[in-house]
Amino acid sequence: MISLVRVDDRLIHGQVTVGWAPYLNATRIIVVSDRLAADPVLTSIVKAGGTAALQVDVVGIEEAARLFDVGEFESGRVILLLESMGDVRRALEAGLCFTSLNLGGLRGSGEGLRVTDAVFLSPADRDVLRDLRLMEIVVEVRLMPGDRPSYLPERAGGE
């Protein structure tokens, strides 16, 4: 089952592998990125972040939607990691379904609407958030599982 869908432009790092994965008893992290999936060197580097107990895979957006459709995410506890809000939009358009989204890090250029030190929302990001709100997908900002989640104000969603 999908335990967490997270957007974090750093992808695999300590907050995910040391914080979220043990907290959720995750058995698998799937990085959903067309950019990484198209680059075998980057894919091998990202996959090296896995362990015997935590499998790490890299798939493109269409492949992630296909895997979801055939029930691939129903066994084990899966964390889906996406690199950008644009990837979130494309994943939803491809057929990936989820009801909540965790924002862990969107630094971009450090410009745009500053939500936290780790989350800056560009106008395009805010458009995606508006659409997520219309789809009733809950969006939280929370770096680590022990942190108190915060939810974005209406103005962050482009309204």
Domain boundaries of the chain, sorted by first residue: 2-157
Q: State which fold the 2-157 domain adopts.
A: Fructose Permease (3.40.35)
- At residue 19, the pLDDT reads 94
Cα within 13 Å of Cα(47), Cβ side = 11
Question: Pairing mode, if any, of strands 138-141 and 78-82?
Answer: unpaired
CA proximity to 102, closest of 136, 55, 137? 137
Tokens found for residue 103: 């924002």
Contact in structure between 9 and 106 (CB atoms under 8 Å): yes
Residue 142 in contact with residue 115, Cβ under 8 Å? no
Q: Which helix (H) or strand (E) holds 24?
A: helix 21-24
pLDDT tens digit at each of 159 positions of the chain:
999 999 999 988 888 999 999 999 999 999 999 999 999 999 999 999 888 899 999 999 999 999 999 998 888 899 999 999 999 999 999 999 999 999 998 887 666 788 888 888 999 999 999 999 999 999 999 999 999 988 876 555 554
Q: What is the pLDDT of residue 44?
A: 95
Task: Give the CA radius of gyration of the chain.
Answer: 15
